[in-house]
Amino acid sequence: MEKYDSNKQADIAENVQETLEAEANEIAVNAEKTEAKGSAPVVSASENETAETKTEAPKEEQQEIVELTDLLDENGNIAKPGFAKKMLYNYNRENIKANKMRLKEWDYYYISNKEYAICLTISDMGFVGALSITVMDFVTPAQFTNSAICLFPMGKFNMPRTSEKGDCSWKIGKVEMKFENDGEKRHLTGVYPNADKLGTDVKWDIVISDVPEESMVIATPFDKDKHFYFNQKINCMKAEGSFTLGDKECPFDPSDSLATLDWGRGVWTYDNTWYWGNLHTRLEDGSTFGWNIGYGFGNTSAASEDMLFYNGKSHKIGRTEFIIPGDKEGEPRYMEDWKFVSDDGRLDCTFKPLIDRYEPFDLKFMCMIPHQVFGYISGKCILDDGNVIELENVLGFAEKVHNKW
């Protein structure tokens, strides 16, 4: 397992600072020009997001990709924006034309049962890399999150070019993570000393298998040259193994434990706010069911990422909206009940929050302000064939995240 070399390069650090500040200045200058011309008023990030959501045509046809294709054209832009139910895009990293410090690559695993969950992330964000862990206790309830940070990995993590096969591993200080994927099973191992910052070490050894035939894949451009968002969500994989909290073992029995992978690659714009929701569960008859819903990230005119998953098959639904109390007034009340609704009526659910994982990082010119809320979901979801899935107090999560980096 490789170890990060912490030698800091002052010239790269200065370049990062200048790049971020330049993008921030560009946003401000464009806003001033727009206001001076007397066109659309200058609005806050949250107001702009709402306006963008409202102007998207809710009934437009979404573009499904059904054949193998390169992700990027020769100019570094998405060649064919849209969604797919399988990994049909070739992530041709060599065609990226943006500054390599802007490239973001991550593998995020969420493994859970009805009592607890663990989230594990290896991420190479160009000028910063992270090994991150979150442990959720749904009974107490309680949670803790921690991240080991290194500077300027710049591709050293060797993140796989496809989600279907490939290993990645890294070590930062005493924190170690390894994600092995031979194409059949995914083996997650590692250790995070003092993960809760109270002296508790966390170790894990988890095997993920039964990858479903279909998933959610989306290729989304930004309204800026050479910028893109490429993502796959694989829900409802079987999980077995365990993690330990000090001397306490937390086992994952494959009869009631599932895993989701959030696999992403992209070059983002500087300032973004997105909404994302995810669910995986076993129904009373043993069937697997889940969903991926979200919006606010990039130009989604070709496709959204809203999809239901039932026994390994994907069911594309209309665009969803997260109705969070107080959100449209600018001060969301995250621990009050939410609503999730799709514009085609195929998803209509309530969300009763249990835990708000709020771990802000804010340097003003660079920030990550996440509200990842875990809770219980009830309501109905309609599959492509009209079959209605009724949910009652099923664990899932939804988030609103504001990033500047």
Query: Mean pLDDT per segment of 10 residues, for the chain of length 405 residues?
Result: 44 46 49 39 35 43 96 98 98 95 96 98 94 97 96 94 97 98 98 98 98 98 97 98 97 97 96 96 97 95 97 98 96 97 98 94 78 98 98 98 87
Cβ burial of 61 (10 Å; 0-12, 13-18, 19+) is exposed
pLDDT at 23: 52
CA–CA dist 278, 260 (Å, integer): 9
For residue 193 the two structure tokens come to: 């000393």
Judged by DSSP in three states, 244 sits in strand
pLDDT of residue 365: 74
Distance CA 329, CA 202 (A): 40
Which pLDDT score, from 0 to 100, does residue 46 have?
Answer: 36
Question: How many C-beta atoms surround the C-beta of residue 105 within 10 A?
Answer: 25
In the beta sheet, which residues pair with residue 133? Answer: 120, 146
Residue 224, CB-side half-sphere exposure with 13 Å CA sphere: 17
Gap between the Cα atoms of 286 and 140, Å rounded: 27
**Residue 22 pLDDT:** 53
Amino acid at 121: T
- Tokens at residue 353, please? 């929050």
Domain locations in the chain? 10-404
What does each C-alpha distance from 215 to 126, 167, 261 come to in angstroms?
Answer: 27, 20, 10
**Token pair in block for residue 45:** 């990030």
Asked whether the beta carbons of 244 and 202 are under 8 A apart, the reply is yes
